[in-house]
Structure 1
Amino acid sequence: MHWIQLSLIVLAFVLIVAEDFVHINKAKSSLFLGTLVWLLAFIFPEPGVDAATTQLQLNENLLDIATLWLFLMAAMTFVAYLNQQGLITQMVYRILPARIGQRRLMLMMALLALAFSSLADNITASLIMLSLLSSLKLKTETVLKFAALLVFAVNSGGVSLITGDVTTLMIFLAGKVSISDLFLLIPAAVLGVLVLLLTLLGGASGELEIPHFRRPIAGRDKVIALLFVMTIGSTLFMSVYFSVPPVLSFLFGLSVMFLSYQFLNRNTPSSQSVLEYIREIEFDTLLFFLGVLLLVGMLKELAVLDHLPQLYQVMPVYAANYVVGLLSALVDNVPLTAAILKSGIDMDRVDWMGLTYATGVGGSLLIIGSAAGVIAMSKVQALSFASYLRFLPRLLLAYSVGYAAVLAIANSVL
């Protein structure tokens, strides 16, 4: 049964990769096989494992999934409101000129993604940046380049602060790196993004027309936008100083948004119910996350990830960390990082910084390797596993340059 479950997990990832060829929606296939492997765990338990133990394992995984789901739901509801009211589009009109060179536009979008993902989490940053991208109405080929750049930039920006990436927070809380150490990742992250940007500039010439339809922004919409910014800021503050889970802060912010919307629209009875904006959420994305996380959770329960520390016995630590980053493009970086932290592997601060960058950015190599990639695949219709895969050589180069820069900067400073 162990091998049957592993085979089903492999099949699930193959179906995700081959979605364009088999014409089976990745959300449906991942959810089907993700639940199937857990059903088999209950029906055909391994020797010495009873139903209560399997239930406990499932509950642990469902807690992680529910946390992500609720956070996504809250963030996506904010973004759905802002997008439907045109605030994101209006923000683009106010930032970008009427005509802008494609190269300059790519640079501005990359820097925005880097900065925003450092302050907010990767999921929120991805939702905002991809909404900005979709509002620009670019050609398909150009959109694919922008999407690959934004996924890499969002993941790169997230590694430099504990608020940007879960694995960065895990390594920080374990006492392996300090806040000042993480600041040293910023120039390396920027360098990696610039390298990728340079490789994508081929054929990017001429100017783009940015349609400008400026209109006044309603006062209530400004209030909701401010609440969104305040929710992000308070989430960061309370997470760092009071260890409040980000999902709790975001749900509280969402409740404040609901109440504020009702108060602001109390004299307009014909206004749309704020709860209707939840229907704007793309549940394909949430179902896909659910299926993938069930599959990854089973990989963890089958002890597949327990073999990871053996890498450090057959190659130097810096090389093993680099490979772990590559693996994070296939397997969720959170269990990978947890396995390494629990293994007791002895590394100095420089190597822990290298691991922080590797696990945070390595997932960018494949579209299914990070939350930013999964969200991009659901938001950008032309983006698929196959269309993203052709950027792999350039992504690998940018990742390698960024990783080398982390080690070089850390060794020269520490």
Structure 2
Amino acid sequence: MLKVIMTLLLGSLSLFASSASTTEIPDLTMTWVGFATLLIFVVGYYFVAAEEKYAIDKAKPALFIGTFMFMLVALYYSLNGLDMDLVHTQAQHLILEIAEIFFFLFVAMTYIESLLHMGVFDTLKYNLISKGYTYRKLFWVTGILAFFISPIADNLTTALILSTVLITIEKTRKDFLVPGAINIVVAANAGGAWSPFGDITTLMAWTAGKGVFTDFLFLFPSAILGYLITAFLLSKFVPNVVPDFDATKEVKPKMHEGAKVVMALGVFTIFCAVMSHQVLHLPAMWGMMFGLSLVKVYAYGLKKKYGHDHFNIFHSMAKIENNTLMFFFGILAAVGALYFVGWLALAAIVYDPNVLGPTWSNIGVGFLSAIVDNVPVMSAILKANPTMGLDQWMLVTLTAGVGGSLISFGSAAGVGVMGKLHGIYTFGSHMKYAWTILLGYIVSCSVWYLQYEVLGISH
């Protein structure tokens, strides 16, 4: 027992010492390890994008490059006698960043599978289709719901819920599923951009003090108009026919006992995540894990009352898409390695008025966030901290959030939907309609310019 206590104390002291280190990270971009990490990332990214062509799950190349790149950097440090404490500290910070997203996603997926098991989505599907809605009307209903739910529930959870509704409505028609999936991703990302806790990037900007709560609400016109343009164009590709469904022949599904309580616990879990971050200054995933503990306790009560097979939370956990979780780990680790080497720090140079200046740089952030990932891009910008006013910080918040929709795995919402509609919503199917998202992105930036730079409406 004494040995365990001493080990924990020494580990705590080591953690404190490493975190207290103020040693500057050396720039390794022009070294062999700098070029190697960049090359490995590009090659790995190619295999992620070509998932359909090579029939390889995107998690495999992502996990390989994420772990290998960081090990390569650590090897370079060791061979050249550099400060190994820096490697340890950067790895710890990276693990914390990944864990926040990893466990947040884990709980969200568990709730989705639980609600699926309890017949909630079958009931929702029946209620939507039995009304006689066409595929096009269903397209609009799911999109509008995504836009207005994501500011509260966050874009990832919203996209997971509504993509599950999509796949329960229709399992084969790609002319409905692909535009419908893109519509949900774009709506969830746009909806999350005008709320301080609707997306991870907005959370980062908010907690860094780049704007107060109400400042983000002024992004609503840019977000909704950009989304509506994309949705209008996408809707033209959706068949305007009623799904093959005869309500008189179908047995109306019934939700399992306790389903409504599980739904309520899901909403309360999101509330706990928000409160954890805003009030308690804990990671949002802390509140999510607390919510998971509550539904586990409730599941125990249901098991005692209705039997073991009525609702087993561990069965729901077993069904989540682990490949999506592994992809997140790999891609965030890979981007963390690029940041550690120094490639992401180069982004600060373009903010110089003699290069691109803040406006064009922030518009470019949208495209960069689609290729890399909006979280590390926003992290790099916040660390570089270029001199910008409120208008520019709101622009980069908008573009980092909305720009992630340009590529299927450019945002957490897109990755989540790719997992739900595996083999249907892919990189290739997304890129066929990417031009509609680009037009919406241009509209969002134009509305921002009119509102902030021409009319001066910002707070």
> Structure 2 length normalisation: TM-score?
0.86
Conserved? CA contact 1:239–1:246, under 8 Å = yes
Give the alignment of 1:42-81 within 5 angstroms: 42-45=74-77, 47-81=80-114
Show the counterpart of 1:293: 332
Instruction: After TM superposition, list the pairs within 5 Å mapping 1:34-183 onto structure 2.
Output: 34-45=66-77, 47-95=80-128, 97-137=130-170, 139-183=173-217
Listed one character per residue, the Cα deviations across residues 345-402 of structure 1 (whole Å, up to 9, x for unaligned) are 2222222111110011111101121111111222212122122111221111111101
* Whole-Å separation in 2 of the counterparts to 1:178 and 1:393: 33
Q: Cα distance 1:318–1:205, how it changes in 2: closer, same or farther (>3 A)?
A: same
Q: Quick one: distance in 2 between partners of 1:274 and 1:106?
A: 31
* AA partner of residue 22 (structure 1): Y
How many Å separate the matches in 2 of 1:333 and 1:176?
A: 17
Is residue 67–residue 330 contact of structure 2 (8 Å, CA) maintained in 1? yes
| Alignment CA distance shift 1:42-1:241 (3 Å) | closer
Deviations 1:277-321 (A, max 9, x none): 110111111111111111111111011011101111212321111
**Larger radius of gyration between Structure 1 and Structure 2:** 2
Residue 324 (structure 1) aligns with: 365
Give RMSD over aligned pairs.
1.9
Separation in structure 2 between the aligned mates of residue 300 and residue 203 of structure 1, nearest angstrom: 40
Q: What residue is the counterpart of 2:426 in the other structure?
A: 384
Q: In the alignment, which residue of structure 2 is the partner of 1:33?
A: 65
Q: How many angstroms apart in 1 are the aligned matches of 2:387 and 2:277? A: 28
**Structure 2 residue 312 is matched with structure 1 residue 273:** yes
Equivalent pair of 1:362/1:399 in contact (CA under 8 Å): yes
Unmatched 5+ residue regions in structure 1?
Answer: none
Structure 1 residues 244 and 96, CA gap change in structure 2 (3 angstroms)? farther
Q: Is the 8 A contact 2:351 2:358 kept in 1?
A: yes
Question: In structure 1, how many angstroms separate the alpha carbons of the residues matched to 2:96 and 2:404?
Answer: 23
Matches within 5 A, 1:167-206: 167-206=201-240
Q: 1:320 to 1:270 in 2, by over 3 A?
A: closer
Structure 1 CA distance for aligned equivalents of residues 122 and 59 of structure 2: 29
Checking the alignment, whether the CA contact within 8 Å between 1:87 and 1:217 is kept in structure 2 is yes
CA distance in structure 2 between the partners assigned to 1:174 and 1:407 by the alignment:
23
> 2:410 is aligned with what amino acid?
G
> Which is further off, 322-331 or 236-245?
236-245
Q: Distance in 2 between matches of 1:84 and 1:155?
A: 27
Q: Among residues 430, 446, 449, which one is paired with 1:404 in the alignment?
A: 446
- In the superposition, the TM-score normalised over structure 1's length comes to 0.95
Instruction: Work out whether 1:225 is the aligned partner of 2:225.
Output: no
Contact 1:100–1:210 under 8 Å retained in 2: no
3-state DSSP of counterpart to 2:371: coil
Which amino acid in the other structure matches residue 168 of structure 1?
A: T
Cα pair 1:136 1:210 within 8 Å, conserved:
no
Shift of 1:97: 4.5
1:96: how far off? 5.2
C-alpha contact (below 8 Å) 1:17/1:385 kept by paired residues: yes
- 5+ residue gaps in structure 2? 1-32
Distance in structure 1 (CA, Å) of the matches to 2:237 and 2:97: 43
Mapping of 1:197-216 within 5 angstroms?
197-209=231-243, 211=245, 213-216=251-254
Any conservation in 1 of the 2:190–2:227 contact (CA below 8 Å)? Answer: yes
> Using a 3 Å threshold, how does the CA distance of structure 1 residues 237 and 57 change in structure 2: closer, same or farther?
closer
SS at match of 1:209: coil
Q: Within 1, Cα distance between the matches of 2:396 and 2:127?
A: 39
Flag the 1:224–1:42 CA change in 2: closer, same or farther, 3 A: same
